[in-house]
Amino acid sequence: METYLQKLASGEDLTSIEMKQAAELLFHESTTDSEIAAVLMGLSLKGETPEEIASLVEVLRDHALSFQKKFPGVMDNCGTGGDRSYSFNISSTSAFVIAGAGVPIAKHGNRSVSSKTGSADVLETLGVSLDFSADEVEELLAENGIAFLFAPHVHPNLKQIMKVRKELRIPTIFNLIGPLTNPVELETQMLGIYQRKGLHMMAKALHQLGRKRAIVVNGAGYMDEASLAGDNHIVLLDQGNITEFTLAPEEVGLTRYPLEAIRGGNVKDNARILMDVLHGEKGPYFETVLLNAGLAVFAHGKANSIQAGIDLARESILSGSALEKLNYLVAYSNQRKVG
């Protein structure tokens, strides 16, 4: 570890091989909390590279829950958190809409980061289990087209690293990589980040991780979701090619709303908002989900334009298909608890 710490202290980037070796040492029982903190601080102070991010993610996935089956076209739509917008659970609500539009989704998530309640909090309140086994996740993806993966459950070996990260109380590389560490092998992804300067870096990391297509978005107001408040800064990764553009809600037939219009509340409030959207209640929550789900469906490639993606997202909700995906997940969870 000393060799890598010296390089980081000198402001030098680690190669992919060096980063993988350093990451493996983070899991070693002989590695101290101080060494873990020094690695995280060293990376943060010099600035993380796409190679370092991708290499760390590959090691984390090697130590995560293992899946045997592959699901063609499966994606995730998890954001990094950290935007402190205290919005409702946009990506969780959007995940059911994406699945209802026919795109398989392995929804990776955790408890609260930047909203008052995280995806795990609100889904648990709605009756979704947080401890699905690998076999159950694979069954849900095959039968329902959506499964939820609770980050601490699928990454059981990260306790010491997470303890150090929490004690540091500053952003580290782990504030960037959460959405990348989904242990299901993804082909496409919708990723939200609150740091606009990181758009290209995260797109390059996604490419190194084997994503065929992906969208990385920094929303108006520096949200880690697409926002109706103004111009969204977006990077599209398509077969290794990276294109940057901006998107305003009016360009795709949506209404501009201030960030305050999509504030969430406690876990019960956010669960109610999620259900209201899936029941088709119009307003800023509904249109925010249309925008985010539409971008994800376009990122996947099922729609050939963002507008077409939004149209499929609207149909997913109004047809009841999105709600059916949630109801199946809740019923499955209840059945396993009884059994």
Residues 124 and 21 in one domain: no
131 is in an annotated binding site: no
Residues 289 and 145 in one domain: yes
Output the domain CATH number for residue 133.
Answer: 3.40.1030.10
110 is in an annotated binding site: yes
* Domain span including residue 28: 1-47
10 is in an annotated binding site: no
How far apart are alpha carbons 314 and 290 in whole angstroms? 6
334 is in an annotated binding site: no
292 is in an annotated binding site: no
Residues 1 and 148 in one domain: no
115 is in an annotated binding site: yes
Residues 97 and 216 in one domain: yes
The string of pLDDT tens digits covering residues 112-130 is: 754 567 899 999 999 999 9
91 is in an annotated binding site: yes
- Please check the confidence at residue 164 and state whether its pLDDT lies above 90: yes
Residues 231 and 314 in one domain: yes
> How many other C-beta atoms lie within 10 A of the C-beta of residue 13?
15
How many domains are contained in the chain? Answer: 2
Residues 94 and 211 in one domain: yes
Residues 85 and 21 in one domain: no
Measured CA distances, 276 to 22, 282, 289 (Å): 46, 9, 12
Residues 183 and 43 in one domain: no
Residue 147 DSSP SS3? strand
Q: Is residue 25 part of a domain?
A: yes
Beta strand pairing status for 232-238 and 105-109?
A: unpaired
Residues 118 and 228 in one domain: yes
111 is in an annotated binding site: yes
Residues 39 and 79 in one domain: no
92 is in an annotated binding site: yes
Residues 19 and 80 in one domain: no
282 is in an annotated binding site: no
**183-211: b or e for each residue (b if 16 or more CB lie within 10 Å)?**
bbebbbbbbbbbbeebbebbbbbbbbbeb
119 is in an annotated binding site: yes
- Please check the confidence at residue 337 and state whether its pLDDT lies above 70: yes
Q: Is residue 80 part of a domain?
A: yes
The string of pLDDT tens digits covering residues 279-305 is: 999 999 999 999 999 999 999 999 999
**Residue 108, strand partner residues:** 149
84 is in an annotated binding site: no
How far apart are alpha carbons 225 and 194 in whole angstroms? 8
Q: Are 316 and 297 in contact (CB under 8 A)?
A: no
